[in-house]
Amino acid sequence: MILSAEGLKNKEAWEAAGYSLPKYDRDAMITATKENPFWIHFGAGNIFRAFQANVVQNLLNDGVLNRGLVVAEGFDYEIVEKMNRPHDDYSILVTLKADGNVEKTVVGSIAESCILDSEDEKEYSRLKNIFSADSLQMATFTITEKGYSLVNGKCELLPAVEADFAAGPEKPASYMGKVASLLYTRYKAGEKPIAMVSMDNCSHNGDKLYAAIHTFAEKWTEAGLAEAGFLAYVENRERVTFPWTMIDKITPRPDASVEEILKKDGIEGLEPVITSKNTYVAPFVNAEECEYLVIEDAFPNGRPKLEKGGLMFAERETVDKVEKMKVCTCLNPLHTALAVYGCLLGYEKISEEMKDPQLKKLVEVIGYKEGLPVVVNPGVLDPREFIDTVLNIRIPNPFMPDTPQRIATDTSQKLAIRFGETIKAYDASPELDTADLKLIPLVFAGWLRYLMGVNDEGAEFTLSPDPLLDTVRPYVSGVQLGTDVNAEEVLKPVLEMREIFGVDLYETGMAEKVCGYFRELTAGPGAVRETLKKYTK
């Protein structure tokens, strides 16, 4: 059994091995898509293959669509060269369910894979043709948040971006420059409407994409390198939109245990490829069963009925509410709490932590009791049901090989949004009192205890990367387990840092509680466990 158009002609063997196959005429779909493309996606990674491509596959199976996707890769061309094209743009989606069941699907909804390379005339001409098509309704993106940035960590223009500003839209080298160039092609083809839709997991993602494209349009028109009307085109929401979205689905890198399952089924050629840019890709992708994608319904050239595939369309304000619900209360804070205490207690899988009665109670109280009272119900998703799914299905899923060490990365950058917004909401509410928050400050104290780099048994461990480690670690570096610590004196400069907690913990009246917890957590080996037992009864 080989994953290719030829190999899939042996349908009986695939179906006998438990694989769901495309139920549509794929050749007809490919022809229709190439003639009248409606959706091009940038970023041929795992989230796209597990989510968007599968949604389109289901809609093709149901007869809602008769055209599929075009995918373009602009960061790592080898993904297309070594994975998409050798497998005729097929991939295998392995859905790993929390109950232990595994679903295997051959996804064939990608009609064409392209390389976003302005130096390759054939590839770039094809992309220009696609962007000139009347039928094109949307260009979507999963290229990570940094993909939209035009500057480096020092806020200096990236060299490729600076060169593109000067050279114009003919042959740009930067990712966003190339996308702006393709949009300029659509402008020159008749100012045709399109939705430019970021589907990356970052706040107000559409604004990030807009800022990048708008900057290029501004620079090029000011320098006379593009027609003056291009800037107005980008700014005109009746022609070009940049909707906000909220996406949520865990798609870890292809797992060796999943590869073994497929090999036992008799599938050949499953070996993953590590590209020269260190991208790890395989003919299959493994993912959790839960998925959410809420999209601002702003499509000036229309859109197909993607809601029939489970996508949710709403007003911008609703998308914002869903994102805040997820990031500030119903998912991300729970992950951070498990990450901090998981590292201290020596856990290596987030899923295993949900078998720990104290850690389970910790996140239940933070989610249901402390966070839920300040959540604004977005309407399209019920917050309590969302937390139910997170705590009962998603986090405990043993197939999801996520680690507390990974999630603990950049914690100093996460606390303000994941917990600070809840504290602010309590402060602003006439009915709620920050004094009633018991376990959110325990997470803060746990993070400060984590910064000591010593686990609950007293052994040293490696802290996850964080840009503020050098700033905050010195405050706790002199603290020793089992010695009396003047927590107020040691921690005061950190607890006042709004950039970390989103608030000054002294002004909110929470600093004393955090200091008290910290003293208990550092009382000696085993103190972390004892403190958790005490406060999660």
Q: DSSP state, 460?
A: B
Q: What is the pLDDT of residues 177-233, one digit of tens each?
A: 999 999 999 999 999 999 999 999 988 999 999 999 999 999 999 999 999 999 999
Q: Across all residues in the chain, what is the average pLDDT?
A: 95
Contact 363, 408 (CB under 8 A): no
pLDDT tens digits for 319-338? 999 999 999 999 999 999 99
Sign of CA pseudo-dihedral 346, 352, 357, 362: positive
Whether pLDDT at 169 is above 90: yes
Backbone dihedral angles phi then psi of residue 92, each to the nearest 5 degrees: -110, 125
Going through 203-255 in order, the beta strands assigned E by DSSP cover: 240-241, 245-248
| Average pLDDT of the segment spanning 130-145 | 96
Token pair 């208990």: residue:
520
- What confidence tens digit (pLDDT) does each residue in 98-127 have? 888 899 999 999 999 999 999 999 999 999
> Which pLDDT does position 252 carry in this prediction?
82
Q: Give me the DSSP letters along 14-70.
A: HHHTTEE---S-HHHHHHHHHHS--EEEE--SHHIIIIIHHHHHHHHHTTS-S--EE
Tens digits of per-residue pLDDT, 88-99?
999 999 998 888
Q: How does residue 82 score in pLDDT terms, banded at 50, 70 and 90?
A: very high
CA–CA distance, 129 with 132 (Å, rounded to integer): 5
CA 105/CA 139 separation, integer angstroms: 25
Contact 174, 157 (CB under 8 A): no
**pLDDT tens digit sequence for 426-474:** 999 999 999 999 999 999 999 999 999 999 999 999 999 999 999 999 9
Q: Is 68 exposed, middle or buried (0-12, 13-18, 19+ CB in 10 A)?
A: buried
The model's pLDDT over 471-486, given as tens digits with 9 standing for 90+, comes to: 999 999 999 999 988 9
Structure-block tokens of residue 40: 């091009």
Residue 138, Cβ neighbours under 10 Å: how many?
A: 22
Q: Which long-range contacts (CB under 8 A, 24 or more apart) does 455-463 make?
A: 455/343, 455/344, 455/345, 455/346, 456/344, 456/345, 456/346, 456/525, 456/526, 456/527, 456/528, 456/529, 457/346, 457/525, 457/526, 458/525, 461/343, 463/408
Answer whether 350's CB lies under 8 Å from 342's CB. yes
* Percent of the chain residues topping a pLDDT of 70: 100
Query: 44-63 pLDDT, tens per residue?
Result: 999 999 999 999 999 999 99
Sequence-ordered list of residues with C-beta below 8 angstroms from that of 229, at least 6 positions apart, any chain: 187, 191
